[in-house]
Amino acid sequence: MKKIRVLIVDDSAVVRQTLASILESDPQIEVMGTASDPFFAAKKIQNEVPDVITLDIEMPRMDGLTFLKKIMSQHPIPVVVISSLTAEGTETGMKALEYGAVEIITKPQMNTKQFLEESRIRICDAVKAAAIARIKRKQVNNLVVQPKLSADVIIPDAPITNRAMIKTTEMVIAVGASTGGTDAIQQFLQAMPVDCPGIVIVQHMPEHFTRSFANRLNDICQINVKEAENGDSVLRGQALIAPGNYHMLLKRSGAKYYVEVKEGPLVNRHRPSVDVLFRSTARYAGRNAVGIIMTGMGDDGARGLLEMKEAGAYTIAQDEKSCVVFGMPNEAIKLGAAEKILPLDQIAAHVIKFVSQVQTQG
**Which residue among 92, 111, 142 closes a domain?**
142
For residues 129 and 178, membership in a common domain is answered with no
Q: Which of 10, 26, 63, 300 is catalytic?
A: 300
For residues 337 and 197, membership in a common domain is answered with yes
Cross-strand bridge partners of residue 31: 6
pLDDT of 361 reads 74
For residues 43 and 137, membership in a common domain is answered with yes
Pairing of strands 247-253, 289-293: unpaired
Roughly how many angstroms between the first and final C-alpha of the chain, as a whole number? 77
For residues 122 and 248, membership in a common domain is answered with no
For residues 90 and 162, membership in a common domain is answered with no
Known active-site residue 208: no
Q: Which residues contact 102 (CB under 8 A, 6 or more apart)?
A: 78, 79, 80, 126, 129, 130, 133, 135
For residues 163 and 21, membership in a common domain is answered with no
pLDDT of 190 reads 96
Instruction: Give 119's Cβ-side CA count (13 Å radius).
Output: 19
Q: Which of 26, 204, 273, 299 is catalytic?
A: 204
Known active-site residue 204: yes
User: What is the chain's pLDDT, residue by residue, as a tens digit (362 residues)?
Assistant: 689 999 999 998 988 999 999 999 999 999 999 999 889 999 999 888 999 999 998 887 888 888 998 888 888 899 998 887 655 446 676 677 778 888 888 776 667 778 777 888 889 988 988 888 766 665 544 434 456 667 776 777 766 544 444 555 689 999 999 877 888 999 999 999 999 999 999 998 867 778 888 998 999 999 999 999 999 999 999 999 999 889 999 999 887 999 999 999 989 878 999 999 999 999 999 999 999 999 987 899 999 999 999 999 999 999 999 987 788 999 999 999 999 999 999 999 999 999 999 877 76
Peptide bond into 60 cis (omega under 30): no
Nearest alpha carbon to residue 315 among 187, 175, 221, 186: 175
- Please tell me what DSSP assigns to residue 144: S
Burial class (CB in 10 A: 0-12, 13-18, 19+), 157: middle
Q: Which residues contact 34 (CB under 8 A, 6 or more apart)?
A: 7, 8, 9, 10, 16, 20
pLDDT of 65 reads 86
CATH number for the domain harbouring residue 28: 3.40.50.2300
For residues 193 and 261, membership in a common domain is answered with yes
Polymer length in residues for the chain: 362
Q: Is 98 helix (H, G, I), strand (E, B) or coil?
A: helix
For residues 12 and 104, membership in a common domain is answered with yes
Known active-site residue 12: no
Pairing of strands 79-83, 52-55: parallel
For residues 94 and 227, membership in a common domain is answered with no
For residues 263 and 281, membership in a common domain is answered with yes
**Which residue among 142, 164, 188 closes a domain?**
142
Pairing of strands 247-253, 256-262: antiparallel
CATH number for the domain harbouring residue 160: 3.40.50.180
* CA–CA gap between residue 280 and residue 257 (Å, rounded): 11
Pairing of strands 198-203, 289-293: unpaired
Burial class (CB in 10 A: 0-12, 13-18, 19+), 289: buried
**Which residue among 95, 124, 142 closes a domain?**
142
Q: Which of 178, 273, 280, 322 is catalytic?
A: 178
The range of the structural domain enclosing residue 44 comes to 4-142
pLDDT of 140 reads 45
Nearest alpha carbon to residue 268 among 254, 247, 285, 282: 247
Question: Considering Cα of 18, then 24, then 29, then 35, what sign does the dihedral take?
Answer: positive
**CA distance to 31, 32, 122, 194, 281, per residue, from 2 (Å):** 13, 13, 21, 58, 60
For residues 355 and 253, membership in a common domain is answered with yes
Domain count, the chain: 2
- For the stretch 31-34, contacts whose Cβ atoms lie closer than 8 Å and that sit 24 or more positions apart, written own/partner, are 31/5, 31/6, 31/7, 32/5, 32/6, 32/7, 33/7, 33/8, 34/7, 34/8, 34/9, 34/10
For residues 191 and 274, membership in a common domain is answered with yes
